[in-house]
Amino acid sequence: MTRILADDVATATPAPRASAPARRRLSVPHLLLIPAILILLVGMGYPLVWQIITSTQDFGIQQQFGKPADFVGLQNYITLATDPTMWQVVGRSLLFCFVTAALTLVVGLLLAMLMTAVGRTARLTLQISLLLAWAMPVVAAMTVWIWLFDRRRGVVNYLLDMIPGVDMNRFSWLSNPLTFFIVASIIVIWMSVPFVAFSVYAGLTQVSDEVLEAAQLDGANGAKRLRYIIMPMIRPVIMIVLLLQLIWDLRVFTQITMLQDAGSKASEFDLLGTYIYKLGAGAQDFGMASAVSIFVLALTLAISWFYVRSLLKEDEQS
């Protein structure tokens, strides 16, 4: 559809200015890109380069007061690689990310299938409820969940305590790392399931009834139709949703910070985001904080590569 514009602009504008070849190269589309490129260079590019350089320097509290930073090569990375705390944080972050993303995907899939299996009223009710949860700003959602899990007057403890034989009165969810991360995971799942459910549901509605009916006539039961027809057809959606979920569940700084505000700030409650924050803003060790940041960026890019590639393909098709 961009047929007329597909040819190079240089030929479209028969540049009479033969004087400066460099100038001719800066054509209309390049000019249009300048503001976006400038803001990206300032807001993202420069910090990124600074961070890469700083991660190879000994940049601690003395450097904050003007002492020149010494180049230490990969020393910061070596220190990190040999630091058991760092490995614990990395392991915990990855475990949290994978478990939460997997559960989100499973719950989202089940809800999407439920939407297709029930009548209009039930489906709309479910969809509106999911939409409201999805729309909640993260910080507001966090305050509500912290209130729900409040030790003494939270509804969660109240309801659990009503189950016979369960004593959850004044159970402090946020003071033990395991229950702390269970709560974090529940909250993140609550926030992210709506996106998964709606995306998968949109994919499911694309599966044609004719094909399903044909399969039914050929003797495929429900489980077989799901496995051999529906699943292969919605596989691309599921892959992309899972990738995005993995990426998003690595960046849960806001959620963890707010839970730490209400609970404990001890290091057993840290994931990568809060760990970097404490290294940088707390200990003022920018060299180490930069090295961990680079690690997080590399990890994110590794996971998102497939997503970026699929978007690139879409761009080429248009």
Partner 1 sequence: MTTSVTIPTGGELGATASAIPVARVRTRTRWSRRFRPRRVVLTVLAFAIAIAWVFPVYWMLNSSLLPNRTLQSFIPTFLPIGGSLDNYENVLDGGSFFSALGISLSVTLIAVFCCLLFAFLAAVAISRFRFKGRKAFVLAVLIVQMLPAEGLFIAQYKMVSSVGLLNSVIGVSIIYTAAVVPFTVWMLRGFVAGIPADLEEAAMVDGLSRTQAFMRITFPLLAPGLVASGVFAFLQAWNEFTVALVLLPAEQMHTLPLWLRGFIQASATRETDWGQVMAASTLVAVPVIVFFLIVQGRMTSGLVSGAVKG
By CB under 8 A, is residue 6 in contact with partner 1?
Answer: yes
By CB under 8 A, is residue 278 in contact with partner 1?
Answer: no
C-beta of 72: minimal distance to partner 1 in Å? Answer: 17
Burial (0-12, 13-18, 19+ Cβ within 10 Å), 206:
exposed
The one among 244, 246, 269, 270 contacting partner 1 by CB under 8 A: 244
Range 56-85, binding partner 1 (CB under 8 A): none
Q: CA-CA distance, 199 to 301, in Å (whole number)? A: 23
C-beta of 198: minimal distance to partner 1 in Å? Answer: 5
C-beta of 92: minimal distance to partner 1 in Å? Answer: 15
The one among 23, 39, 71, 106 contacting partner 1 by CB under 8 A: 39
The one among 23, 40, 78, 81 contacting partner 1 by CB under 8 A: 40
CA–CA distance from 75 to each of 51, 54, 59, 60, 291 (Å)? Answer: 15, 12, 12, 14, 10
Residue nearer to partner 1 on the CB measure, 51 or 88 = 51
CB 256 within 8 A of CB 278: no
By CB under 8 A, is residue 158 in contact with partner 1?
Answer: yes
By CB under 8 A, is residue 262 in contact with partner 1?
Answer: yes
Gap between the terminal Cα atoms of the chain = 8
The interface region with partner 1, picked from 69-77, 94-102, 175-183, 285-293 by CB under 8 A, is: 285-293
Residue nearer to partner 1 on the CB measure, 18 or 162 = 162
Q: CA-CA distance, 193 to 153, in Å (whole number)? A: 27
By CB under 8 A, is residue 8 in contact with partner 1?
Answer: yes
Residue nearer to partner 1 on the CB measure, 3 or 17 = 3
Place of tokens 């050929």: 218
Residue nearer to partner 1 on the CB measure, 149 or 181 = 149
CB 232 within 8 A of CB 206: no
C-beta of 226: minimal distance to partner 1 in Å? Answer: 14
By CB under 8 A, is residue 282 in contact with partner 1?
Answer: no
Q: In DSSP terms, which residues pair with 70 in a beta bridge?
A: 58
Range 185-214, binding partner 1 (CB under 8 A): 190, 192-193, 195, 198-199, 201-203, 205-206, 209
| Binding-site size, partner 1 (CB under 8 A) | 124
The one among 106, 122, 211, 266 contacting partner 1 by CB under 8 A: 122
Range 81-120, binding partner 1 (CB under 8 A): 111, 114-120
By CB under 8 A, is residue 266 in contact with partner 1?
Answer: no
